[in-house]
Amino acid sequence: MAIDKELVKGKILYTDSTHIRANASNSKYENEEYEEIITEDESLLTLVNEKKEAKGQKPLQPAKDKTKKKSRKVSKTDPDSGYMHRDRKPVGFYHLLHGTVDSSHNIILGLSVTPGNVHDATVYVDNLDNIFETFDIIPKYTGSDAGYFNLNVLEQLSERNLNPVIGPRKYAGKKGKKSKY
């Protein structure tokens, strides 16, 4: 209905997430052990090897997958939440609400909820694809904050012919010293 009334233009979409406190005690959890498989980014290896071959150099061989053992806190009262501990954010069990709005009138086009320990960029492109399919719109620009700035996101947006407008990351220096930025 908002599209029919021209309240949604579909030219620019903005995305961000907000944390929502889970109804869970920070002291009632279990440590869960799991293995994470680390694989090499094949597209980056392909780019490097193309450059090396153009210079007559021997291509790099793909690295073998590595398995890393990790642990995470799982709430006994709300196992769907995730234990969040990020810089300048509250610590504890949270959910993340990922929302995307149209820039014309800030009409919400897509929402998804993940555990608080899921990185913003993990669901970003999937959420955009869902909006594109549901509403049959393809924006020219997508806007987001620095939490979405990574190679995979930029590559996937480029494949969809989208122009990302993403804030740069600012890395703080050591405590008591000024940052190089």
Domain count, the chain: 2
pLDDT of residue 75: 94
State whether 108 and 71 are in the same domain: no
* Helix, strand, coil share of the chain (percent; to 5): 25, 35, 45
The band of 41, judged by pLDDT with boundaries at 50, 70 and 90, is confident
For residues 136 and 113, what is the distance between their CA atoms, to the nearest angstrom?
A: 22
Domain residues for the domain of 58 are 29-75
In this predicted model, what pLDDT tens digit does every residue of 44-74 receive, in sequence order? Answer: 788 888 999 999 999 988 888 888 898 899 9
In this predicted model, what pLDDT tens digit does every residue of 22-32 receive, in sequence order? Answer: 999 999 999 99
DSSP state of 22: -
State whether 83 and 137 are in the same domain: yes
Of how many residues is the chain composed?
A: 181
For residues 26 and 29, what is the distance between their CA atoms, to the nearest angstrom?
A: 7
State whether 82 and 44 are in the same domain: no
CATH number where 5 lies? 3.90.350.10
State whether 47 and 114 are in the same domain: no
Mark which of 75, 99, 133 sits at the end of a domain.
75
Q: What radius of gyration, in Å, describes the C-alpha atoms of the chain? A: 20
State whether 138 and 178 are in the same domain: yes
Query: Which pTM was predicted?
Result: 0.75
State whether 181 and 122 are in the same domain: yes
In this predicted model, what pLDDT tens digit does every residue of 69-118 receive, in sequence order? Answer: 988 999 999 999 999 988 788 899 999 999 999 999 999 999 999 999 99
State whether 66 and 81 are in the same domain: no
State whether 56 and 82 are in the same domain: no
State whether 124 and 42 are in the same domain: no
